Amino acid sequence: MSAPVLPETVAADEIPAAAVRRTRKISETTWLVLGSAGVLGLAFASLFVGVSDVTLPQLLSGDAEAWELLWISRLPRTLAVLLAGTAVAVAGLIMQLMVRNRFVEPSTVGTVESATLGILVVTVALPAAPMILKMGVASVFALGGTALFLAVLSRLPVRNTLLVPIVGIMLGGVIGSVTTFFAYKYDLLQTLSNWMIGDFSGVLRGRYELLWIVAILTVIGYVAADRFTVAGLGADFTTNLGLNHKAIMRLGLVLVSLISAVVVTTVGAVPFLGLIVPNIVSLLFGDNLRRAVPWTALFGAGFVLVCDVIGRTIRYPYEVPVGMVMSVLGATVFLALLLRTRKSHG
């Protein structure tokens, strides 16, 4: 009697690499879809959070006042939260690759402070200037401030991991001090605070549409993701691959500056978002920008949405600006990341 023939086992190294990658991609896509559904579900729930009474039964019954409030205030606010969170998080990711440092983002390198200074200048010079003009001037100032930070950074003898964000925070502090001085001189401190602290409570239909510009800029960032990934490996490596390193850096500079200027002009500064979200995504998914951008956008939108809901409910019926909530949470995570890096370097 012959022995039974056992089924042959396939060695792990005989499994095609393409099949492994395909399975991993399907799994990651599934999680991305589930995460998007979760953010959309939270966004839908946030439509019914607020002092004014808007409920699903009212909408289903055709309550005209409830529908008007939804279209004029609640829906524009939710869309503004999602657009700002997505764009600022992606801008932070691009900035970190440009500088090759995980502890920088537009609000820690002087970009946001420069944009605020630009808005103050146009407010003093042209008080009746339209929003689009303020955004344009803020973009120019943001470009200048970010370029100044990169110029200062290029002259540092050693790029210590912790030194780079300190230089950025110092530069931002100097620009912020100049802005505060002139705001005090022209009695605009109250107006200045509206730009320095992100707040979505004033978002209404007709006052947030400029944020769709950052959606386009985010898509451009995703299309150029591979180039930013290569540029993050250094000028020599980028040139050896036949790419123009300076052109890629200029593109990143423009994207980060425009996103920062549009968001600050529309809803105010959203601090630490571009710092903590890219770091979390990098820990989970690595440094490939094309792979990381969708997750960064998703985490950014979800994080701002959660902070906005917390701000609306923590002192109900009063409201805490989302910038304050994010400052507390963001600063805590930032310090944790700094301590983690210090321990890893001994």
Q: Residue 62 falls within a domain, yes or no?
A: no
Q: Residue 223 falls within a domain, yes or no?
A: yes
CATH at 124:
1.10.3470.10
Q: What size, in residues, is the chain?
A: 346
Number of domains composing the chain: 1
Q: Which domain holds residue 113?
A: 76-344
Q: Residue 259 falls within a domain, yes or no?
A: yes
Q: Residue 297 falls within a domain, yes or no?
A: yes
Q: Residue 171 falls within a domain, yes or no?
A: yes
| Measured distance between the N- and C-terminal CA atoms of the chain, rounded to whole angstroms | 66
List helix spans (H) across 224-244.
225-231, 235-240
pTM for this one?
0.85
- Alpha-carbon distance of 346 to 343, in angstroms, equals 5
Q: Residue 16 falls within a domain, yes or no?
A: no
pLDDT tens, residue order, the chain (346 aa): 444 444 444 444 444 544 445 555 567 788 889 989 999 999 999 998 888 888 888 888 888 888 999 899 899 999 999 999 999 999 999 888 888 888 888 888 889 999 999 999 999 998 888 888 999 999 999 999 999 988 888 787 766 677 888 888 899 999 999 999 999 998 988 888 888 888 888 888 888 888 899 999 999 988 888 888 887 777 788 888 888 888 888 898 899 999 999 999 999 888 889 888 998 888 888 777 778 889 999 999 999 999 999 998 888 888 888 888 988 888 887 777 777 765 555 5
**Helix axes of 131-154 and 111-125: crossing angle, nearest 10 degrees:** 140
Q: Residue 68 falls within a domain, yes or no?
A: no
Of 324, 331, 328, 332, residue with least CA distance to 308: 324
- Do residues 119 and 265 lie in contact, with contact meaning Cβ atoms separated by under 8 Å? yes
State how far Cα 295 lies from the chain centre: 12
Residue 166: CB atoms within 10 A of its CB come to: 12
Whose structure tokens read 């700094």?
A: 338
Q: Residue 18 falls within a domain, yes or no?
A: no
